[in-house]
Amino acid sequence: MRVRDRALLNRRLDGLGTTIFAEMSALAVATGAINLGQGFPDTDGPEAVREAAVRALRDGRGNQYPPGAGVPELRTAITDHQQRFYGLEFDPDTEVLVTAGATEAIAAAMLALLEPGDEVIAFEPFYDSYAACIAMAGGVRVPLTLPAPGFRPDLDALRDAVTPRTRLLLLNSPHNPTGMVLTADELTAIAELAVERDLLVVTDEVYEHLTFDGAAHTPLASLPGMRERTVTISSAGKTFSFTGWKVGWVTGTAELVTAVRTAKQFLTYVASGPFQYAVAEALALPDSYYHAFRDDLQAKRDVLAAGLTEAGFLVHQPQGTYFITTDIAELAPGTDALAFCRALPERCGVVAVPNSVFYDHPTAGRTQVRFAFCKQQDVLREAADRLRKAFSG
Ligand code: GLN
């Protein structure tokens, strides 16, 4: 047998290529453009939290393998956080797992909970690692399109999509890239369906603290009947502006957490030792930190939304996350989002991300372009100015 008689890349990964975030960030570096593509802040999180990481490193805490489930200080801080913000009780010894970012948590959850052929329902556009992780686990993704404008889930379509092969719902609220935040009624309907059809739910809540205009995040695990069937995932990256630290976590029943940990221990085993101690301190920051962070982001959203509108983009106002989805159909007739984004840095020195790559649907996201607003206000103004000059003269 000759090794190259068949494709080198496992067929489950066929077509996944390079992530759009890597492609667009590389383009930003190559062209010197303002990067509003990949979602990472241009200012680091609180100084005290950075110092906590330095202290941990200097004191020799976390420089060797931390415990597989995460350091006790962080596990306790996570359970305190779930109790403080949502009234959810978890046992830090058995119901929490620290992961290498939410990314690993998603991967481990899929690998742990799916058998080949199991169906996973997810609303599209979806964060790119969902499709990859479902595929790596041998699952079958069943996308349900969130229709623009509004991007509200079609709950009848969700009900109709459940089959005897459906194993789990993979949810994300606040939702990347649309900024949609599930309402209490939507959460209730989803929870009732999950209970009725006996489904597992994996919820990606990494943007839990990034909600605007009074919209509030409610974890699905807090609804009746959901605690025992929900794997809740979050991460320090967004809430504390340390995306490079890759500290994420899972909460759920001991049974679910044990399952996810079984897969996770063979992916990285552990990660981010000293940063785990720093994130424990971050989670304990007073409510004022969380409020100020949210207010600051909301102001940035408003700056970018106004600038994009002035430049001629149709803006879908987000209620959460740090992304604005726009539509370019009128601005650039006949152009698809991917081509638009590939040309944008040369055209005016701004990088964005095409939502089209987050859809299975062939046309739904064809003219949607996402801009990140987790940047300093003058950077957002400069980007908007460049876009306005390029598109509205
Ligand atoms: N979550 C970030 C985004 O949506 C990117 C993370 C990544 O590059 N994997 O932009």
> What is the per-residue pLDDT across 81-129, written as a single tens digit (0 to 9) for each?
999 999 999 999 999 999 999 999 999 999 999 999 999 999 999 999 9
> What is the per-residue pLDDT across 178-232, written as a single tens digit (0 to 9) for each?
999 999 999 999 999 999 999 999 999 999 999 999 999 999 999 999 999 999 9
Q: What is the 37 CA–ligand 1 centroid distance (Å)?
A: 9
pLDDT at site 3: 84
pLDDT at site 393: 67
Query: Probe ligand 1: pick from 38, 175, 246, 351, max atoms within 8 Å of CB?
Result: 38
Q: Could you tell me which residues are beta bridge partners of residue 315?
A: 326
Contact by Cβ (8 Å): 97, 70: yes
pLDDT at site 321: 98
80: three-class secondary structure by DSSP = helix
Separation between Cα atoms, residue 210 and residue 82, nearest integer Å: 16
46 alpha carbon, distance to own chain's centre: 21
Contact by Cβ (8 Å): 94, 257: yes
Q: Which of 102, 62, 98 is nearest to 79 (CA)?
A: 98
Separation between Cα atoms, residue 50 and residue 311, nearest integer Å: 37
Q: What mean pLDDT is reported for the chain?
A: 97
Give percent above pLDDT 70 in the chain.
99
Give percent above pLDDT 90 in the chain.
97
This model's pTM is above 0.95: yes
**How many distinct helices (H) and strands (E) make up the chain?**
13, 13
Q: What is the 196 CA–ligand 1 centroid distance (Å)?
A: 34
Name the residue ranges covered by the structural domains of the chain: 9-38+288-391, 47-285
pLDDT at site 262: 98
The fold of 9-38+288-391 is Aspartate Aminotransferase, domain 1 (3.90.1150)
21 touches ligand 1 (CB under 6 Å): yes
Query: Within a 10 A sphere around the Cβ of 338, how many other Cβ atoms?
Result: 18
Position 388 pLDDT exceeds 90: yes
Does the fold of domain 47-285 match that of domain 9-38+288-391?
Answer: no
Separation between Cα atoms, residue 142 and residue 119, nearest integer Å: 7
Q: What is the 224 CA–ligand 1 centroid distance (Å)?
A: 32
Average pLDDT over residues 171-183: 98
Residue 140 parent element (H or E): strand 140-145
Residue 290 makes CB contacts below 8 A (sequence gap 6+) with 209, 239
The fold of 47-285 is Aspartate Aminotransferase; domain 2 (3.40.640)
> What is the per-residue pLDDT across 287-299, written as a single tens digit (0 to 9) for each?
999 999 999 999 9
Q: What is the 160 CA–ligand 1 centroid distance (Å)?
A: 31
Average pLDDT over residues 257-261: 98
Indicate which atom in ligand 1 lies nearest the CA of residue 103: 9
- Confidence category of residue 2, pLDDT binned at 50, 70, 90: confident
- Nearest residue (CA) to ligand 1, atom 1: 39
Separation between Cα atoms, residue 309 and residue 391, nearest integer Å: 11
For residue 366, report the phi and psi dihedrals to the nearest 5 degrees: -55, -30
> What is the per-residue pLDDT across 310-362, written as a single tens digit (0 to 9) for each?
999 999 999 999 999 999 999 999 999 999 999 999 999 999 999 999 999 99
pLDDT at site 1: 63
- DSSP string covering 264-303, please? HTTTTSS--HHHHHHHHHHHTS-HHHHHHHHHHHHHHHHH
Residue 112 burial (CB < 10 Å; 0-12/13-18/19+)?
A: buried
Contact by Cβ (8 Å): 305, 68: no
Q: What is the 225 CA–ligand 1 centroid distance (Å)?
A: 32
Q: What is the 358 CA–ligand 1 centroid distance (Å)?
A: 12
Residue with tokens 């940035």: 300
Query: Probe ligand 1: pick from 16, 40, 351, max atoms within 8 Å of CB?
Result: 40
Q: What is the 239 CA–ligand 1 centroid distance (Å)?
A: 14
176 touches ligand 1 (CB under 6 Å): yes
**CA distances in angstroms from 264 to 19, 127, 203, 272, 301, listed in the order given:** 22, 20, 17, 14, 35
pLDDT at site 184: 97
pLDDT at site 4: 82
Residue with tokens 């931390």: 66
Separation between Cα atoms, residue 129 and residue 109, nearest integer Å: 12
Strand 247-251 vs strand 230-235: parallel, antiparallel, or unpaired?
A: antiparallel
Contact by Cβ (8 Å): 315, 308: yes
- Confidence category of residue 17, pLDDT binned at 50, 70, 90: confident
**CA distances in angstroms from 358 to 11, 15, 297, 361, listed in the order given:** 20, 13, 24, 9
